[in-house]
């Protein structure tokens, strides 16, 4: 086989100079892996560099290359060994039998995860190994995509080896992946995300309905960021049936393992513990797991599927001790940060005004860009100074900057990790990395509250809905605290309408609204992205949903960038012949009051019903009747009050008008499944009420036929 190094050196036209090798060797260091800017890589025995060039020894040749040709120098990356894939399969028959059994139980399944086998091994030297095998029975065409496998890894810390990847056929034959089809590349991610991960990918050939795919790989963490932060979270159930789902954790005898087992039944929650040579083996096994059937507005899968999370510590002490210095290092009030804060708060009189201005700066002038590269940037973020300088950052960076800036005005604040509520409840019983977001905890006048500068349109002191009702981890204060659910009044939309009806059904509507909290932020966000003409067009499209035959008179809103007051919207329009006439009757529905609740569409549910946060909507409408008409029918008032929904609405008839008022609020975020029937009934009553009409009848004149 051709020497790849020589080929590389020639092809990249690097100046190669043979020897004086011994002369240089004392200046050179350890082996390293070089990533070149053109995508090629080279493992070298020894390396040195100065401001302009990198020198190395590869094989028997030494060379030098200009620095700009190199993208990365790694001292820890290990070469991948050539993949040698196992071909022998001993368990085809029992695997097919298991698949058939599960297909018998769940015949409508797309696929069956016949075997889901994860083994973690914590080595005495602090490195660890994860061995995973999946065997998937392909029951429908839609499952064939499972043959495409992608495994992410961080090359300076981890190494992946494919043990086998093959198709199993019911006749006992096996189709094996060719090792040259295994590729490593930087996979594609969203426009704003930058990280150090690579992806090992392959597609198992000949995947077909009725067959199985079977792959196994080993992920070795040879350079863990912290040898004591060995931890993971393994889930035993998914949206397709699972045959055997097994978690094994091998630990050195003298190292204890701590675990929690969310959503596991008592019988499965504790492992079988056995002793194997110098190791203790913890095994959890769950078999014949039914598929989870998704429901609208159901909790996150992590809140319903049985799982086990484990780590080496029983409390947060070590984790906090490890992260706290990183936080403190970044939480530095430098001169430039102070100067910027002074500039931002200029003109602000009260402390609240100052906080508000700083909060807005971090939201609006720090662009969302996420750059992750190590434990520090992953968990703590970049220094406040860097984020300010770059004018970009992600949640950790923005949380750090906001906290640091608030410090300058004497406000105690901390970046804290949370798991956003759509992702489920965070594990806080053990020190597991289970946060997916960072917000800012503010301590002011004995009160603790939260701000989220990763948003872009929140008026102080409101913050993002997905942060509500979560659990924080505050490494700086070494505390775990709840983020409370705000009252519905903090996410409110207040609407006023004046409607004047004409005899031909034409309705002139004058609309005013004011909002706060997430509702306000959403309206600000959507309006600030539109030019005035575009906003007008969007209002037109919205009105045309009522009737395309309309005249728009006013479509304005307050300045979405003025955060000193609540956001207000105003419009006035005429809906021509909006109220249909049928003979002498006129039928009218107040525009936009109809409410739908798709979350209660199911007759029965298995899981709780979950919404993002609490909210409130209030409507006050005055309807002037058309000349010559009297009210024939008004819907009955409706009042409902439960812990999960409060509704109060009524039509009141006046001499020549009708006054309508309604108030709906959802004070709680989670409706337990036992309350579902009652809740569904209530929401359906509300939906029906809001779909009812006012019936008016033309008053007969003398001699006129009815």
Partner 1 sequence: MNRFWMLFFAFFFLSPVYGDVLYLNEGEEHVGRLVSITSGSVLFQDFDGNNETFSENEVAHVLLSKIREGDLINQVASLTEPTIKEILVSAPSNSDFPQNDYVTLFRKRSVKFNQDGSVFYENRQVTKIFKEPGLDAANCSFYYFNDTEKLELAFAHTYNSDGRIFHLTDDALSEESIYTGTPEYNRLRKVKFALKKVDLGSVIDVCYRVRTEKHSALRPYIIDTVFGQREPILREELVVEFPNSMQTTVQPFQWPASGAPTLTTSTNPQTGETTMQWKFSDTKGYIPEQNMAATNRIFPRVFVCPQTTWDDIGKQFQQALDSAAPKPALIEAFISDLGIASQSGQVATLRALYDGIQRKIRLIGVPCQDYGFDPVSTDIALTRNYGNSFARITLLYFALKHLGIESSVGFVTSWKSGGTQEKVTSLGQCWEAILKVNLDEKDYFVCCESDYYPFSFLPTSYQGSKACFLKNYSFQFETLPDGGSNQNRFDRQLFVKVSLDGDMDVKEVRNFRGPFEVSLRGMRSLKDKEKQNFAEKVVKRIHPHAQLRDFSFSNLSDFREPVVFTLSYLIPKAAIKASDQILAFRNYWVDYSGTSASLASRTYPMDYWATEEKVNTLVVELPEGFDWTPWDRNFSYDCSCIRYFSTMVQKGRTLVFSDLFQANRKEYDPKIHYPHYRECIFTLEDIAKQWIILENSAGKDPLKPGFMQAPEPQG
* Residue 339 in contact with partner 1, rule: CB under 8 A: no
Query: Quick one: which of 133, 208, 338, 448 contacts partner 1 (CB under 8 A)?
Result: 208
Q: Which residue has the tokens 């939201």?
A: 363
User: Does residue 277 come out as left (phi exceeding 0), alpha (psi in the -120 to 50 range) or beta?
Assistant: left
8-37 residues near partner 1, rule: CB under 8 A: 26-30, 32, 37
Task: Judge contact between 580 and 586, C-beta under 8 A.
Answer: yes
How open is the CA angle 137-138-140, to the nearest 5 degrees?
145
Query: CB-based contacts of 396: which residues, under 8 Å, 6+ apart?
Result: 377, 378, 379, 380, 381, 382, 415, 438
Closest among 371, 520, 400 to 456, alpha carbons compared: 520
Identify which of residues 444 and 634 has a Cβ nearer to partner 1 in the complex.
634
* Residue 601 in contact with partner 1, rule: CB under 8 A: yes
433-462 residues near partner 1, rule: CB under 8 A: 456
Identify which of residues 101 and 693 has a Cβ nearer to partner 1 in the complex.
693
User: What is residue 79's three-state secondary structure?
Assistant: coil
Distance CA 378, CA 374 (A): 6
Work out whether strand 174-176 and strand 242-252 pair parallel, antiparallel, or are unpaired: unpaired
507-536 residues near partner 1, rule: CB under 8 A: 528-529, 531-534
Q: Is 56 exposed, middle or buried (0-12, 13-18, 19+ CB in 10 A)?
A: buried
Closest among 452, 449, 363 to 412, alpha carbons compared: 449
String of DSSP letters for 261-328: -TT--HHHHS-EEEEETTEEEEEEEEEEEPPPPP-TTPPPGGGTS-EEEEES-SSSHHHHHHHHHHHH
From the list 104-112, 158-166, 509-517, 612-620, the region that binds partner 1 by CB under 8 A is 104-112
Question: Residue 248 CB, nearest distance to partner 1 (Å)?
Answer: 28
618-647 residues near partner 1, rule: CB under 8 A: 630-638
Q: Which residue has the tokens 């045959």?
A: 243
From the list 146-154, 347-355, 515-523, 566-574, the region that binds partner 1 by CB under 8 A is 146-154
Question: Residue 116 CB, nearest distance to partner 1 (Å)?
Answer: 19
Identify which of residues 542 and 558 has a Cβ nearer to partner 1 in the complex.
542
Query: Quick one: which of 5, 119, 269, 374 contacts partner 1 (CB under 8 A)?
Result: 374
Question: Residue 577 CB, nearest distance to partner 1 (Å)?
Answer: 8
Residue 357 CB-half CA count within 13 A: 16
Cα 13 to Cα 66, 84, 104, distances in angstroms:
11, 33, 63
Site size for partner 1 (CB under 8 A): 144
String of DSSP letters for 356-409: HHHHHHHHHSSEE-EE--SHIIIII-S-HHHHHHHTEE-HHHHHHHHHHHHHHT
* Residue 301 in contact with partner 1, rule: CB under 8 A: no
Identify which of residues 21 and 695 has a Cβ nearer to partner 1 in the complex.
695
111-140 residues near partner 1, rule: CB under 8 A: 140
Query: Quick one: which of 1, 603, 704, 705 contacts partner 1 (CB under 8 A)?
Result: 603
Binding mask 466-485 for partner 1 (x = CB under 8 A): --------------------
Distance CA 610, CA 297 (A): 5
From the list 9-17, 87-95, 286-294, 617-625, the region that binds partner 1 by CB under 8 A is 286-294
Query: Quick one: which of 40, 253, 314, 688 contacts partner 1 (CB under 8 A)?
Result: 688
Distance CA 427, CA 259 (A): 11
Identify which of residues 280 and 506 has a Cβ nearer to partner 1 in the complex.
506
Query: Quick one: which of 90, 598, 655, 702 contacts partner 1 (CB under 8 A)?
Result: 598
380-399 residues near partner 1, rule: CB under 8 A: 386, 389-392
* Residue 225 in contact with partner 1, rule: CB under 8 A: yes
* Residue 370 tokens, joined: 């996420």
* Residue 314 in contact with partner 1, rule: CB under 8 A: no
Q: Is 642 exposed, middle or buried (0-12, 13-18, 19+ CB in 10 A)?
A: middle
* Residue 613 tokens, joined: 């946060």
Q: Which residue has the tokens 């780590």?
A: 311
Task: Judge contact between 212 and 114, C-beta under 8 A.
Answer: yes
User: What are the two backbone dihedrals, phi and then psi, of residue 101, each rounded to the nearest 5 degrees?
Assistant: -60, -45
Q: Which residue has the tokens 């509704």?
A: 647
* Residue 149 in contact with partner 1, rule: CB under 8 A: yes
* Residue 109 in contact with partner 1, rule: CB under 8 A: yes
Identify which of residues 192 and 554 has a Cβ nearer to partner 1 in the complex.
192
Identify which of residues 223 and 472 has a Cβ nearer to partner 1 in the complex.
223
Identify which of residues 47 and 251 has a Cβ nearer to partner 1 in the complex.
47
Question: Residue 595 CB, nearest distance to partner 1 (Å)?
Answer: 9
Identify which of residues 260 and 292 has a Cβ nearer to partner 1 in the complex.
292
549-568 residues near partner 1, rule: CB under 8 A: 549
Query: Quick one: which of 547, 622, 642, 661 contacts partner 1 (CB under 8 A)?
Result: 547
* Residue 585 in contact with partner 1, rule: CB under 8 A: yes
* Residue 157 in contact with partner 1, rule: CB under 8 A: yes
* Residue 677 in contact with partner 1, rule: CB under 8 A: no
* Residue 580 in contact with partner 1, rule: CB under 8 A: yes
* Residue 429 in contact with partner 1, rule: CB under 8 A: no
Query: Quick one: which of 77, 423, 440, 614 contacts partner 1 (CB under 8 A)?
Result: 77
* Residue 228 in contact with partner 1, rule: CB under 8 A: no
CA 501 to chain centre: 47
Identify which of residues 338 and 632 has a Cβ nearer to partner 1 in the complex.
632
Identify which of residues 193 and 449 has a Cβ nearer to partner 1 in the complex.
193
Q: Which residue has the tokens 């097994």?
A: 246
Question: Residue 118 CB, nearest distance to partner 1 (Å)?
Answer: 22
185-204 residues near partner 1, rule: CB under 8 A: 185-189, 191-192, 194-196, 199, 201-203
Query: Quick one: which of 43, 64, 100, 110 contacts partner 1 (CB under 8 A)?
Result: 110
Closest among 616, 318, 333 to 485, alpha carbons compared: 616
């Amino acid at each position: 086989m051709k020497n790849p190094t020589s080929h590389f050196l020639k092809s990249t036209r690097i100046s190669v100079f043979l020897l004086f090798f011994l002369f240089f060797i004392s200046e050179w260091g350890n082996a390293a892996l070089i990533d070149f800017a053109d995508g090629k890589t080279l493992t070298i025995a020894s390396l040195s560099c100065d401001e302009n060039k990198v020198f190395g020894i590869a094989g028997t040749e030494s060379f030098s290359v200009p620095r700009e040709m190199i993208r990365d120098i790694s001292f820890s990356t290990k070469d991948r060994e050539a993949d040698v894939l196992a071909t022998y399969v001993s368990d085809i028959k029992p695997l097919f039998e298991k698949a058939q059994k599960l297909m018998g139980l769940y015949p409508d399944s797309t696929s069956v995860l016949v075997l889901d086998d994860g083994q973690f091994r914590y080595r005495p030297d602090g490195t660890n190994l994860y061995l995973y095998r999946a065997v998937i029975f392909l029951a429908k065409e839609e499952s064939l995509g499972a043959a495409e496998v992608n495994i992410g890894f961080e090359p300076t810390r981890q190494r992946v080896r494919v043990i086998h990847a093959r198709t199993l056929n019911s006749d006992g034959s096996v189709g094996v992946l060719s090792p040259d089809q295994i590729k490593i590349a930087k996979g594609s991610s969203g426009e704003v995300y930058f990280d150090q991960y690579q992806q090992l990918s392959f597609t198992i050939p000949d995947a077909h309905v009725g067959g199985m795919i079977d792959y196994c790989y080993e992920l070795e963490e040879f350079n863990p960021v912290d040898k004591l932060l060995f931890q993971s979270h393994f889930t035993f159930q998914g949206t397709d049936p699972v045959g055997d789902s097994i978690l094994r954790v091998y630990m050195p005898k003298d190292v204890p393992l701590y675990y929690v087992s969310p959503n596991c039944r008592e019988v499965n929650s504790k492992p079988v513990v056995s002793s194997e040579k110098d190791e203790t083996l913890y095994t959890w096994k769950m078999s014949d797991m039914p598929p989870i059937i998704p429901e609208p507005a159901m909790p996150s899968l992590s809140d319903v599927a049985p799982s086990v999370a484990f780590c080496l510590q029983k409390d947060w002490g070590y984790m906090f001790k490890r992260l706290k210095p990183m936080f403190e290092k970044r939480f530095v009030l430098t001169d430039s940060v102070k100067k910027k804060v002074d500039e931002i708060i200029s003109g602000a009189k009260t402390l609240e005004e100052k906080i508000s201005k700083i909060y807005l700066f971090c939201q609006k002038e720090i662009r969302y860009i996420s750059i992750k590269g190590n434990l520090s940037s992953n968990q703590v973020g970049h220094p406040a100074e860097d984020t300010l300088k770059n004018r970009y950052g992600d949640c950790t960076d923005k949380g750090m900057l906001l906290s640091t800036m608030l410090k300058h005005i004497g406000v105690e604040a901390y970046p804290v990790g949370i798991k956003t509520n759509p992702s489920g409840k965070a594990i806080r019983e053990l020190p597991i990395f289970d946060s997916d977001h960072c917000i800012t905890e503010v301590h002011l006048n004995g009160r603790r509250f939260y701000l989220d500068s990763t948003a872009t349109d929140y008026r102080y002191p409101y913050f993002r809905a997905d942060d509500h009702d979560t659990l924080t981890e505050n490494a700086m204060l070494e505390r775990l605290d709840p983020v409370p659910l705000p009252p519905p009044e903090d996410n409110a939309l207040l609407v006023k309408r004046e409607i004047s009806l004409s005899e031909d059904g034409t309705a002139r509507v004058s609309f005013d609204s004011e909002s706060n909290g997430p509702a306000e932020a959403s309206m600000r966000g959507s309006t600030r992205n539109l030019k005035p003409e575009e906003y007008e067009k969007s209002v037109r499209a919205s009105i045309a949903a009522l009737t395309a035959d309309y005249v728009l008179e006013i479509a304005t809103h307050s300045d979405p960038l003025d955060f000193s007051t609540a956001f207000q919207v105003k419009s006035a329009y005429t809906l021509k012949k909006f109220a249909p006439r049928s003979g002498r009757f006129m039928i009218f529905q107040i525009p936009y009051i109809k409410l739908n609740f798709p979350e209660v569409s199911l007759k029965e549910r298995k899981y709780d019903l979950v919404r993002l946060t609490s909210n409130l909507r209030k409507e006050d409408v005055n309807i002037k009747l058309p000349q010559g008409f009297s009210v024939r029918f008004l819907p009955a008032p409706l009042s409902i009050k439960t812990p999960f929904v409060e509704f109060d609405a009524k039509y009141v008839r006046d001499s020549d008008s009708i006054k309508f008022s309604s108030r709906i609020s959802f004070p709680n975020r989670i409706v337990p499944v036992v309350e579902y029937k009652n809740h569904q009934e209530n929401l359906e009553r509300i939906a029906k009420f809001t779909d009812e009409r006012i019936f008016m009848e033309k008053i007969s004149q003398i001699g006129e036929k009815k």
